[in-house]
Structure formats: C-alpha cells, structure tokens
C-alpha cells in the first residue's frame, strides 16, 4: 500500500490523551516543539482529533480555564483517511492541515501522513537524481495523444517519469511533463523536440534538472494563442 509506506507510525509520534488538561497539553506541545499533535482516547487506540498550540495560547490569553480537558479545544475530529484509501483522496482531505490522521483496517489510530512526507514522495516521482530534462508538452488532450507522445520519445530514450496536468473536461490545453533520464545529449534532445512538434505537440518548456535552468519557456504565449 502506497500510503502505508509513507505514514509516520503511532509509536514514533508525540500524542496527548483525552484525559489531559489544557495545561498538560500545552507543556507537551512546548516540550516537543510541534504546533499541533493528535489527541487519542485513554486506550491510545482511537483518534479523537488534534490540539493546536495556538488555540491553547488564545484560550489562555483570554483568561480561559486551563484545567479544562484538552478535548475542549479539539479540532479536526473527522479529518482522517483509512490506510487503504486511494492515494488521490489524500489531496482532497489534507489541504491546509499539517498532517492527516491515518486509521487502520479496524478504524484504530495507525499514524499520520504529513505534508512533508507527501511532498517528498512527489519529489521522488520527478526522478530528480536520475533525470536530465523535463519537457512540458502541450496537446489538445485527444484520445491517444499520450500514447503517441510516449512512442515518439521512446524512439530516442526511455521515460523516467510522466505527469499530466490540466486534466479537466473544459480545459483547452493539456500539459504533459516528461522527465528524461540522465545521459541525454543536446542532439538527442533536439531530435525528440523536433519529432514531437512535427506531430503538432508543442514543447513549451524545457527544464534542465541538473543546472536548474529553463532552456525554453514560451508556454504563456502558446496558451494565449489557444484561447484567441
């Protein structure tokens, strides 16, 4: 399971019990340095929600009772995903959260998936360490376009990774980002671009992953032309 492989397991986390007071929870937060941590039930199995340091500070600054249970300021009680959830659902649930709680098959607390882990995984998908260039190829999104583009590139080299953007029903332009492996020569790159453009696939941007330079960038011009 993809999600399970990048989740931080419960035993490695700082958590607070639902029986803690706000004073006790604040000390745990301050000692750990985290801005929020999960609240678990007395058994340590059930996720109740999150407690945020800023909410406790605000409560305290307003003269609030710090002996109230931590659940008084509980947040995000329903922000969870199952361990076997489709990966795309993570993006619809995590949004502005620092992390999302992950539940196992028995709906008990398994761990958390953080934004940083998610970004690390997406970074790996770019194959930065083994990539040379990223080609942003514009197409109409017609049936078979991805197959044709892939075959064109595969005549010269393998494809390290591929990401398709703008996959909306009303999108005028589909951007497909192809990462090419290391070892691609300028001549091979030129050949790939020429073959793509002969088939009316516009290469709007070329990024050199090793130098972090943009070799070509005329995407805005191409997008504007599509809308005229």
Q: Label residue 171 by pLDDT band (50, 70, 90).
A: low
pLDDT single digits (tens) 24-33: 999 999 999 9
Is residue 105 predicted with pLDDT exceeding 80?
yes
Give the pTM: 0.69
| Homologous superfamily in CATH for domain 2-120 | CBS-domain (3.10.580.10)
**pLDDT, average across residues 53-81:** 96
If one compares 223 and 185, the residue with the highest pLDDT of the two is 185
Q: Quick check: 216 and 205 in contact, CB under 8 A?
A: yes
Domain ranges of the chain: 2-120, 127-227
Is residue 67 predicted with pLDDT exceeding 70?
yes
Is residue 211 predicted with pLDDT exceeding 80?
no
What per-residue confidence (pLDDT) applies to 58?
Answer: 97
What is the distance between the terminal CA atoms of the chain, rounded to a whole angstrom? 45
Candidates 3.90.220.20, 3.90.550.10, 3.30.70.260, 3.40.50.720; correct CATH number of 127-227?
Answer: 3.30.70.260
Is residue 206 predicted with pLDDT exceeding 90?
yes
| C-alpha–C-alpha distance, residues 60 and 53, integer Å | 11
Q: Label residue 223 by pLDDT band (50, 70, 90).
A: very low
Q: Count CA atoms closer than 13 A to 31's CA, side-chain side.
A: 9
Specify the length of the chain in residues. 228
If one compares 84 and 76, the residue with the highest pLDDT of the two is 76
Q: Label residue 148 by pLDDT band (50, 70, 90).
A: very high
What per-residue confidence (pLDDT) applies to 92?
Answer: 76
Is residue 63 predicted with pLDDT exceeding 70?
yes
Is residue 222 predicted with pLDDT exceeding 70?
no
Is residue 169 predicted with pLDDT exceeding 80?
no
Is residue 224 predicted with pLDDT exceeding 70?
no
Is residue 47 predicted with pLDDT exceeding 90?
yes
Q: What is the mean pLDDT of the chain?
A: 87
Is residue 220 predicted with pLDDT exceeding 70?
no
Q: Do domains 2-120 and 127-227 have the same CATH topology?
A: no
CA 223 to centroid of chain Cα atoms? 26
**pLDDT, average across residues 94-121:** 89
Q: Label residue 163 by pLDDT band (50, 70, 90).
A: confident
Non-local (6+) Cβ contacts of 192 within 8 A are 135, 152, 153, 156, 157, 180
DSSP string across the chain: -HHHHHPEEGGGS--EETT-BHHHHHHHHHHHT-SEEEEE-TTS-SEEEEEEHHHHHHHHHTT--TTSBGGGG-B-TT-EEETT--THHHHHHHTT-SEEEEE-TTS-EEEEEEHHHHHHHHHHHTTGGGEEEEEEEEE---TTHHHHHHHHHHTT---SEEEEE---TT-S-EEEEEEEETT--HHHHHHHHHHHHHTT-EEEEEEETTTTEEEEE-HHHHHHHHH-
> Lowest mean pLDDT: which of 61-75, 85-99, 159-173, 195-209?
159-173
């Amino acid at each position: 399971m993809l999600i399970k492989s990048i989740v931080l397991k419960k035993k490695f986390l700082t958590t607070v019990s639902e029986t803690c007071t706000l004073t006790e929870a604040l000390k745990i937060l301050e000692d750990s340095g985290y801005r929020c941590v999960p609240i678990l039930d007395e058994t340590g199995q059930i996720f109740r929600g999150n407690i945020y340091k800023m909410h406790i500070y605000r409560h305290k600054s307003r003269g609030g009772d710090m002996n109230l249970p931590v659940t008084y300021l509980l947040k995000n009680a329903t922000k969870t995903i199952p361990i076997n959830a489709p990966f795309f659902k993570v993006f619809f649930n995590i949004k502005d959260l620092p992390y999302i709680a992950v539940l196992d098959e028995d709906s008990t607390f398994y761990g958390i998936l953080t934004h940083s882990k998610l970004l690390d995984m997406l970074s790996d998908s770019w194959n930065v360490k083994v990539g040379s260039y990223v080609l942003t190829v514009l197409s109409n999104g017609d049936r078979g376009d991805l197959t044709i583009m892939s075959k064109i590139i595969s005549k010269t080299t393998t494809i390290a990774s591929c990401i398709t953007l703008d996959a909306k029903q009303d999108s005028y332009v589909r951007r497909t980002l192809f990462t090419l492996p290391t070892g691609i020569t300028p001549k091979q790159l030129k050949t790939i671009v020429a073959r793509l453009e002969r088939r009316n696939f516009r290469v709007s941007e070329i990024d050199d992953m090793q130098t972090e330079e943009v070799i070509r960038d005329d995407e805005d011009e191409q997008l504007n032309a599509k809308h005229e």
